A and B are shown apart, each in its own frame.
Chain A
Amino acid sequence: MLLLVKQHLNRSQTRLTSVLTSNNSGVAYTISKEEFKWIRRLLPPSIIPKPPLHSNYPTPSGWSPPTETSLDLPYFISRTRYHEFPVYEITKRNGQTMTHIRKIEGDIWAFERDLIGIIHPYLDFDPATRVHEVAGIVSVKGNFKAVITQYLREKGF
């Protein structure tokens, strides 16, 4: 069947063209959902996947999963949804650095005491810490992300 169709070339110009369409009566067709797999590969996942099982830890990137020994302590620091430690360092515009440790449950003051014990060898003075009980955050003045992360890994968090 020949049809005349208005074709829009751009905003101001249109032209009439002829289009050949199929006669719908009596034409056999099949529906296939097999081709959709090429689109499904491209669709992003929404759920963050679990890390695959490795034979040896730590992995080449330095990651290791949490272990059971973390349950002996009076506090617990859970991993982030990306399976990382909740330790963050920030640098202010005046050059000061601070380290935040989030997601602390249980006796946060016991964690603060242990933290001061870890950081003491690196400083000549007492570490400046802030304990935010309600939010479960401990902040330390200075950049101690590597030290704290190592401690948390040792303790099995």
Chain B
Amino acid sequence: MNFGKIARISGALTRSLKRFQHGSEVVTASNQSLPPNLVLYGISKEQFEPESQQEEVKSPGPETPIIRKCNGEIPKNKSPITVWVDSFKNVEQQRQVSAQLHPLIFGAHPRMDILHEVMRWQQRYRDVNYTWSRTRAELGRGKQKPWPQKGTGRVRQGSRAGPGWKMGGIAHGPRGPVSLYYKPADDVILKGLTIALTVKLVQDDLIVVDDVEIPEADTNFFNDVINSRNLSENSLLFMHAENDFPQNLSEIVSNSRTLSLMPASALNVWSMLKHDKLILPLSMLDDLETKILWHMNRYPWLGKPHNFYKDMPGKKGLKFEQEQYLAEQQRESDENVSQ
């Protein structure tokens, strides 16, 4: 059986995948034509109806100014992904400046099985099995011998609570609350995060914003901002950098059921899939990329605790030593380059 033929059936899909993987073009939902036999339900159908079809969204070209470049090293076969940078200070959607996103994080190979695994882990790792059955000693009865040892003709019995008896104790039953905690490999969880970010970007659900804070805590202004971007019927997940809490936005988000606000350290697959749109500020991208790339390129942990490394990103205690070590590394790499 020639599996190659099956792989080549959907030519448009493989071609787009190739372009996506080779990083030459951002494949998003808006610049791809849907197959005519695709059946859609619910809100997706309204969005893709021909009457309400929006104008084709153009990706940022080579002329648009790039206000944020990738910090980490980019592999040779991939190029950074450019996205529009919006601004919540304007009611109208802004498509004037762009930012670069790292291809290993926002252009990861979309492994749906890993995404599903991580999402299910987030649902299940807190589960506790509370079933508990009583043993013969815990029934609260049965110390008395039911009939004498000999002479009755019946089987010798010591109590009416044994496992062989009706309504007796259970010998090897479930015993008390049992934690169903488990953790997949670190790499799996990391990949899940990158795949979720990729999926959000490719499906036009990622909005990069210069600053997630809004100028005033005015619900009307906020609703205008949301409506002009056609996000009124979408659940939105706003992220903010660690030390950059948006006060005005938090007041509006606390009054809403469909809006959420989280710091960068709380970014997780479940929340990203649960909300329709993900909004990231530029201030958060540096930290996010540094930390994810560090996890991808670090040694395995040397036992536990694993907090004595001299070059962990964001480590407070050894900051002085960290800076010195990183400065040394920079000097060595500069020497190498000059040679």
Stretch at the interface among B29-37, B173-181, B230-238, B297-305: B297-305
How far does the alpha carbon of A135 sit from the alpha carbon of B187 in the complex, in Å? 14
With A43-B308, A44-B310, A133-B7 already in contact, the answer to whether A50 and B76 are too (CB < 8 A) is no
Asked if A70 lies at the interface with its beta carbon under 8 angstroms from chain B, I say: yes
With A47-B298, A71-B76 already in contact, the answer to whether A40 and B321 are too (CB < 8 A) is yes
Asked if A45 lies at the interface with its beta carbon under 8 angstroms from chain B, I say: yes
How far does the alpha carbon of A68 sit from the alpha carbon of B75 in the complex, in Å? 11
**Minimum CB–CB distance for B11 against chain A, Å:** 12
A135 touches B299 (CB 8 A): no
Asked if B62 lies at the interface with its beta carbon under 8 angstroms from chain A, I say: no
How far does the alpha carbon of A32 sit from the alpha carbon of B318 in the complex, in Å? 15
Q: Of A45, A46, A70, A133, which contacts B76 at CB under 8 A?
A: A70
Q: What per-residue 1/0 map shows which CB atoms of B296-335 lie under 8 Å from chain A? A: 1111001000001111100000101100110001000100
Asked if B54 lies at the interface with its beta carbon under 8 angstroms from chain A, I say: no
With A45-B299, A105-B109, A106-B22 already in contact, the answer to whether A53 and B76 are too (CB < 8 A) is no
B76 touches A66 (CB 8 A): yes
**Minimum CB–CB distance for B316 against chain A, Å:** 15
Q: Which chain B residue has the least Cβ–Cβ distance from A52?
A: B336
With A48-B297, A136-B109 already in contact, the answer to whether A70 and B77 are too (CB < 8 A) is yes
Asked if A107 lies at the interface with its beta carbon under 8 angstroms from chain B, I say: yes
A40 touches B76 (CB 8 A): no
**Minimum CB–CB distance for A110 against chain B, Å:** 10
**Minimum CB–CB distance for A139 against chain B, Å:** 14
Asked if A31 lies at the interface with its beta carbon under 8 angstroms from chain B, I say: no
Q: Which residues from A are CB-within-8-Å of B325?
A: 40, 45
Q: Which chain B residue has the least Cβ–Cβ distance from A107?
A: B18
A69-88 CB contacts (< 8 Å) to partner B: 70-71, 74, 76, 78, 81
Question: How large, as a class, is the contact surface on chain A?
Answer: 20 to 34
How far does the alpha carbon of A70 sit from the alpha carbon of B308 in the complex, in Å? 39
Binding site of A, secondary structure by majority: helix, strand, loop or mixed? Answer: loop
A105 touches B7 (CB 8 A): no
Interface size (B, Cβ < 8 Å)? Answer: 32
How far does the alpha carbon of A109 sit from the alpha carbon of B7 in the complex, in Å? 9
Q: Which residues from A are CB-within-8-Å of B333?
A: 50
**Minimum CB–CB distance for A61 against chain B, Å:** 18
How far does the alpha carbon of A74 sit from the alpha carbon of B18 in the complex, in Å? 9
Asked if A119 lies at the interface with its beta carbon under 8 angstroms from chain B, I say: no
How far does the alpha carbon of A95 sit from the alpha carbon of B254 in the complex, in Å? 63
Asked if B4 lies at the interface with its beta carbon under 8 angstroms from chain A, I say: yes
How far does the alpha carbon of A74 sit from the alpha carbon of B14 in the complex, in Å? 12
Asked if B220 lies at the interface with its beta carbon under 8 angstroms from chain A, I say: no
Q: What per-residue 1/0 map shows which CB atoms of B248-263 lie under 8 Å from chain A? A: 0000000000000000
B321 touches A36 (CB 8 A): yes
Asked if A148 lies at the interface with its beta carbon under 8 angstroms from chain B, I say: no
Asked if B294 lies at the interface with its beta carbon under 8 angstroms from chain A, I say: yes
B21 touches A106 (CB 8 A): yes
Q: What per-residue 1/0 map shows which CB atoms of A119-144 lie under 8 Å from chain B? A: 00000000000010111100000000
Q: What per-residue 1/0 map shows which CB atoms of A24-51 lie under 8 Å from chain B? A: 0000000001001000100111111110
Q: Which residues from B are CB-within-8-Å of A40?
A: 310, 321, 324-325
B339 touches A53 (CB 8 A): yes
Q: Of A45, A50, A70, A135, which contacts B310 at CB under 8 A?
A: A45
How far does the alpha carbon of A76 sit from the alpha carbon of B78 in the complex, in Å? 10
Q: What per-residue 1/0 map shows which CB atoms of A49-70 lie under 8 Å from chain B? A: 1101100000000000010101
Q: Of B3, B18, B296, B311, which contacts A45 at CB under 8 A?
A: B311
**Minimum CB–CB distance for A135 against chain B, Å:** 7
Known: A45-B299, A47-B298. 13 other contacts (CB 8 A): A43-B321, A46-B311, A47-B294, A47-B297, A47-B299, A50-B333, A74-B18, A78-B75, A105-B21, A107-B18, A134-B113, A135-B111, A136-B109
Listed by A's residue number, 25 A-B pairs whose Cβ atoms lie within 8 Å are A33-B320, A40-B321, A40-B325, A43-B309, A44-B299, A44-B308, A45-B309, A45-B311, A46-B294, A46-B298, A46-B309, A46-B310, A47-B297, A47-B311, A48-B297, A53-B336, A70-B76, A71-B76, A74-B18, A78-B75, A105-B77, A106-B22, A109-B4, A134-B113, A135-B111
Mark A residues whose CB is within 8 Å of B.
33, 36, 40, 43-50, 52-53, 66, 68, 70-71, 74, 76, 78, 81, 105-107, 109, 131, 133-136
